[in-house]
Amino acid sequence: MFDNSQIVNNSSIRLIFSYSALYITSSVILLIFVFWFSVVYMKQQVDHHIEFDAKTLISIYTQFGREKMIESIHERIMNEDYDSIYLLYDNDKNILSGNLAKIPPNLSSGWQEISLNDYRFVKTLHSDRARVMNKMLDEDLFFLNGLDVNALDSQKKLLIMIMSIGLVIILVTGLLGGFIMSRSTIRKINIMNSTILKIQNGDLQLRIPHSNTNTDYDLLATNINNMLDQIRILIADIQNISNHISHDLRTPLTRMRGKLEHVLLHTSYEQTNNILDAIDEADTLLSAFNAILRISKVESGAAKTNFTDLSLNRLIEDVVNFYEPLATEKNLSIHTELSSSIVIKGDRDMLFQALANIMDNSIKYSDKAGKINILLAEKNKQIILQIADNGKGIPESEHENVFKRFFQLTKHRGSQGHGLGLSLVAAIAKLHKAQIQLKDNDPGLIVEVLFSSKLK
């Protein structure tokens, strides 16, 4: 079954059903035209029959006189296979011959339709209408010749029945054809979308499946796959460059830090603070390079091989125990509200690092004597983890920016840190198919991490 939104919002599906609607509409118009042409043709045939019959009888009258014509009309009434109408009458409204009991009122010369209600027939007719031609033979004689429209009505009904069956066939074939085409199109689009979504979530090895034909879909899939190959090469190059830079710079920085510590042992008291500051700066740079390497490792998806079943409750308790002394130094209280044991699949070390980064920020930017609340619950097939503090918070306009690499709020620039902590948190969350949301705690900040229950 298809979702309504797929049909409404998919341009290919709308195009298919537009063509189906056009096919059905044009077929209906063609059926109406055929019906109208058939009815006109049948009326013409009726008129031709009446004209031919009338000409024959009038020729008999011209050649042999009135009596012979009356005799011929009588013979036709007795032997006629068609539902013919005959009426020969004079100027005084006297019926001389025919199969009508009386002269219809308001007769005029030429073609017309007359009602046959309340008339007695010599031969039983089938309907209450007749198509007739009334003609004056001389000053004292009139001749009415026509056909009961029963045969014409029967043919019309037969045509309507045939057209109705044809219309049903057209509707069924049009809708069925559109459904079959749309089903094939939706299936291909769903395959493409699901593959692209998996690629977007980090599985850069996947490619859109297709056959080796030259259809539009296969050409599009081939072009997208070629583009993904190029993107993967570029990403790999960028990651290699980043890794090489981090490795190459981390080594001399480590050596420089070692030399500074060596110098610190043989320097005067006056230079000690300067050397300690230099060591702190080196530590900051080393921490930044280590963070870049960890982020690159997480984004490459390599860490996904270390996924195991782990208890979120136990993990949170370990993080809280680790930061309890630091919180105590700032006179901060940590309160936890944990649901019953929740188990997910994930990398414990990386999730510990992510939660540690969030806790570190909460403690760092909270005022003294504040509190940090940690909530873990499961609701609507989602696992909700909230870490809330009552510190300085983050402006709502900057909620998206804080997850970018090296981004720091203006008021925090120049302070210790490199702006990579939340970037690493975002990368780890993405690896675990989790979502991060920042909310205002008024005052303070709420960091909400949403895990899917399907990870269990």
Residues 6+ positions from 183 with CB-CB distance below 8 Å:
2
Phi, psi of 166 (to 5 degrees): -60, -40
Bridge partners (DSSP) of residue 323 are none
Q: For residue range 226-271, list pLDDT tens digits in order.
A: 888 887 777 676 666 666 665 556 666 676 777 677 676 766 666 6
Q: Is the pLDDT of residue 302 over 60?
A: no
Mean pLDDT calculated for residue range 408-428: 66
Q: Is the pLDDT of residue 205 over 50?
A: yes
Please report the pLDDT score of residue 115 as a whole number: 78
For residue 290, name the pLDDT band (cuts at 50, 70, 90). low
Residues 6+ positions from 356 with CB-CB distance below 8 Å:
319, 322, 323
If 0-12 CB within 10 Å is exposed, 13-18 middle and 19+ buried, where does residue 197 land?
A: exposed
Mean pLDDT calculated for residue range 121-148: 78
Please report the pLDDT score of residue 55 as a whole number: 92
Residues 6+ positions from 201 with CB-CB distance below 8 Å:
430, 433
For residue 81, name the pLDDT band (cuts at 50, 70, 90). low
Please report the pLDDT score of residue 1 as a whole number: 44
Please report the pLDDT score of residue 242 as a whole number: 60
30 vs 24, 41, 42, 172, 441, CA distance in Å? 10, 16, 18, 17, 68
pTM over 0.85: no
Residue type at position 222: T
Q: Which domains does the chain have, with CATH numbers?
A: 1-193 (3.30.450), 216-299 (1.10.287), 303-455 (3.30.565.10)
% pLDDT > 70, the chain: 75
- Give the residue with greater pLDDT, 249 vs 83: 83
Q: Is the pLDDT of residue 155 over 70?
A: yes
Residues in the chain: 456
Q: DSSP states of 23-41 as a string?
A: HHHHHHHHHHHHHHHHHHH
